[in-house]
Structure 1
């Protein structure tokens, strides 16, 4: 019997739970932060809506915030949907995929920049993060009712179409072409982070200094601190339980946090969990003992890409790779319930679950 563990309704509810239950409330303003409190408020201007194939929740605590800001952010994310959505027939990405093997497609500057960034990560990770992984994603169809383990012939055909080196980009013409028929770009490993960064830039441009941005429950940006200036206390997802269950907390201020894990989308078949983080080298879900990885950075686009790439790398190589990235930290949750954190993060994690423990030497 096969069980599938992701639908739009479930993901929408999960994202709402994450915001309501995991990100701590604002609380009272500290007396030492009265100047900051004058421009911030406890009750945010907020909205939750479905855009770019995910649930977006925006909460702005700055007193200058209005419903117009929310409307403009909704429009901004709608514009990104018209650039990066795989399922919107009017989007740049949809048109590029539809023209694979035939012709180059003119795209917006935003679309061009995101694809270029994704390809840069492909080069840097030797293809472990590959935005042309779409054929494999389509084949597995994880997160939908038809998800199943594909046969080897289908898998090999889709794997051969996964090759970032066959994406042609012409910056002067602002076009993108996929060389082989059947190639499919998928920006799921970077797109939500990019969208979150664009919302953050909007808030900065409008001098809105206290906000929470949540896209899909996995890409979260804390713009500034809480009203009063204190850090946000963010719950860390327990990868062995449903969205909203915590293994601990982490304080962040003007930072982004991005997570990838086996709990997000998967199906069970023959007693085996098949999750959505695919290894481009094999075509199968990554199996390396990792349950989840969380990246902490000041850039959501990078954090989104790095959480996927480091997951596929595994603990040893992923840890070494993250340690080399300036301004980036991470922690890895293993299937033996041990947690490994990079040097700048291990002392910031507050474990609240007795099930998990820091690995030896990381207490």
Structure 2
């Protein structure tokens, strides 16, 4: 079942484990489990002393992701997000602390990115019908009309009453660009609170690694056009990384590629970068900013990152050309693949 804004697909980031020693000592156990949640493959690796405790912790982590999926998916008519959308132009909706925080964070990233990340893009996104059979781009007039119903600055958040209000009929929000990252963070908290010493949660390329030994976990970044090839590899011992790209959900019409990531300023799918990977302390931040930077493009994105020192980014163009912040260049190993032009 499709829940968030990305279908089940091969991962933008792949996991390369060079033996169990990355996480485990000889006295420790490791388990690996996978489930289909939030419209993607969710993988959990957990390491600790007792296997039964690890199994219980992983079960709780998956249940936590299921809980968030039920609450935050716009595809679930009973979710908090659906209730907010259904009440647009009519009345505020009281939400729980978690939902309020996520919407508040979304509005903050929207402001910090000058509108490149905008959860109110839903009315325009629906026009493009990315997931339909034989989709056709919408008329320009329809796009312009739906753009009038967007704008994160319109969202009314009342901290005293914990209510969210979309003031115009037809408005709608979609947390697909931030909720999956938050769900990964939340699952990691569950694991840590249940005696898991180290491990990984990977939700379709939104990844958190914690407690890895040595150089850490080797994470391969896929070529944006040749999905079976790895264009670069980084190592992560503690932290989060997420990737947004034009190859997860898209269609080609009259020779033009239309992806599911919409530029909130134009109402059209983003043209320019093929993917942007972001490393941050939390997957919530990495998830949201990978979308924002993908929309902004490398020139504006690199300039914006100068005022956000905790965020690192790797931009990859359709041909494989790369631009990156210093952390990525210090970590990344690139591969000599045909069609890749290296650093920009």
In 2, are the aligned partners of 1:351 and 1:357 still within 8 Å (CA)? Answer: no
Deviation at 1:67, TM superposition (A): 2.1
Using the TM superposition, give the Cα deviation of residue 11 of structure 1 relative to its aligned residue in structure 2, in angstroms. 4.3
The reply on whether 1:224 has 2:211 as its aligned counterpart is: yes
- The residue aligned with 2:269 is 285
Residue number among 147, 162, 178 corresponding to 1:174 in the alignment: 162
Task: Output one character per residue of 1:45-69: Cα deviation in whole Å (capped at 9) or x when no partner.
Answer: 2322233343322121333443221
Aligned to 1:121: 109
Q: Flag the 1:306–1:317 CA change in 2: closer, same or farther, 3 A.
A: same
What's the TM-score once normalised by structure 2's chain length?
A: 0.91
Asked whether the equivalents of residues 53 and 85 of structure 1 are also in contact (C-alpha less than 8 Å), the reply is no
Quick one: distance in 2 between partners of 1:109 and 1:148?
A: 40
Output aligned runs, 1:1-363, within 5 Å: 11-12=7-8, 14-15=10-11, 22-27=14-19, 29=21, 37=25, 40-41=28-29, 44-64=30-50, 65-145=53-133, 147-215=135-203, 217-225=204-212, 229-242=214-227, 244-287=228-271, 289-355=272-338, 356-359=340-343
User: How far apart are residue 327 of structure 1 and its match?
Assistant: 2.3
> Which runs of 5 or more structure 1 residues have no equivalent in the other structure?
1-5
What TM-score do you get using the length of structure 1 for normalisation?
Answer: 0.87
CA gap of 1:322–1:271, structure 2 versus 1, over 3 A, is: same
Structure 1 contact 7–143 (Cα < 8 Å) conserved: no
Post-superposition Cα deviations, 1:290-342, rounded to whole Å, max 9, x if no partner, equal 11111111211111111111111111110122233122211111234321111
DSSP-derived class of the 2:221 partner: strand
Matches of 1:71 and 1:14, distance apart in 2: 24
Offset at residue 136 of structure 1 (A): 1.2
Aligned counterparts of 1:176 and 1:28: Cα–Cα separation in 2: 46
Runs of 5+ consecutive residues of structure 2 not aligned to the other structure = none
Residues 90 and 7 (structure 1), Cα distance of their counterparts in 2 relative to 1, 3 Å cut = closer
Write the distance in 2 (CA, Å) between the matches of 1:188 and 1:330. 20
Q: How many residue pairs align between the two structures?
A: 339
CA distance 1:311–1:127, change in 2 (3 Å): same
State the distance in 1 between where 2:84 and 2:40 align.
21
- More deviation, 142-151/67-76: 142-151
Cα deviation 1:175-233 (Å, max 9, x = unaligned): 11111111110111111111111112222222312211111x221111221xx544111
CA shift digits 1:115-173 (9 cap, x unpaired): 00000111112211111011111111213325320012221121111111221111221
Which piece of structure 1 moves more, 137-146 or 164-173? Answer: 137-146
| Stretch moving more, 86-95 or 334-343 | 334-343
* SS across alignment from 1:330: strand
Distance 1:246 1:347 in 2: 18
After superposition, the CA RMSD in angstroms is 2.3
CA distance change for structure 1 residues 114 and 319 in 2, over 3 Å: closer, same or farther?
same
